[in-house]
Amino acid sequence: MVAALLADLFETHRPHLLSVAYRLTGSVSDAEDAVQESWLRLSVARQSEIEDLRAWLTTVVSHICVDRLRSAAVRREKYVGQWLPEPVVTAVTPSSTLDPLAAVVRKQEFRFAALVVLDTLTPPQRVAFVLHDGFSVPFSEIADILDVSVDSARQLAARARKAVAQGPAAVSDDEHNAAVQRLLSALSSGDVDAIVAALHPDVRTVGDGGGQVSTAINVVAGVDRNVKLWTGLFRRFRLFDLERIGPERELEPVLVNGQFGILAHERAPHDGIPGSPPRVYAFTVRDDKVWGVYDVVNPAKLGGVRVPH
């Protein structure tokens, strides 16, 4: 009976713990594993020594995520190409099935572009910033988690705050949708002038194939290079052809971390068009134009696709 009550109580904290772990790691699999491991630690802990269960669990999950972040930093040293967070992909129409992580990522601070910026921070900076600014964890507790002084924890958060401030400002869903739709329509029509008009002057495309699947290894920056890239892909793969975009079609409109994006289902070669593996396209909008295109195609980073097939 006591175990059942404890399990029920833990479940009430699961959405919070997932939000902490996902924002700390940028990884769906690591976040879910960290939360599950926190439950295992709770199940064998002395309950009488836990004064505030939410705070205790937050600390435990944070410790686990620090280890995951450090491990990821080592992996990134040998990673082929660019490194992007793992997206959480859900259907445009909300599912009746409760998914705590899908609900969490609809908040502005979990937008894909925001996680991309967090990935530029060092692990200690990320932990200090996310825990303090995102979840109001006191610097004294953050210092214990990172094994640094309180002053150092404050400095880490301050440096992270400055870096985050340089990222793109959040825009409304309507502005985001309109800008992305303009780009898709322009690509589908093949109108180069319309494509240029839909792109921000500082546009960049970032691909993450992890060396396993073909995508751009380097960041493709600038309007000219992006126009050449996307018109070439459209001609070869019929990519972003509006006739192929729709529910249960090859290119499915979805929400990527709560904002409009595209899920490209695996496609076999047909009609002279080469086949393509599953991939997720996320977008960032700045000044009413598409500023960032993110092509997540590494199979290991598509575990957050929650769209039923």
pLDDT digits (tens, 9 = 90+) for 110-167: 999 999 999 999 999 999 999 999 999 999 999 999 999 999 999 999 999 999 998 8
> Could you report the per-residue pLDDT of 31-79, keeping only the tens digit for each?
999 999 999 999 888 887 888 999 999 999 999 999 999 999 888 989 9
Phi-psi region of 34 (alpha: psi -120 to 50; beta: other; left: phi over 0): alpha
Query: Which one has a higher pLDDT value, 7 or 290?
Result: 290
- Token look-up 């507790």 returns 141
Note the pTM of the prediction, 2 decimals: 0.91
Strand order in the sheet with 259-264: 89-91, 251-256, 259-264, 279-286, 289-296, 199-208, 220-221
- Structure tokens of 129? 């910033």
Neighbours of 213 (CB within 10 A): 18
Q: Residue 103 has what pLDDT?
A: 82
Residue 105 near residue 258, CB atoms below 8 Å: yes
Region 92-106: mean pLDDT is: 79
Q: Residue 1 has what pLDDT?
A: 42
Q: CA distances (Å), 272 to each of 45, 231, 232, 241, 267, in order?
A: 61, 17, 15, 15, 12
Residue 100 near residue 18, CB atoms below 8 Å: yes
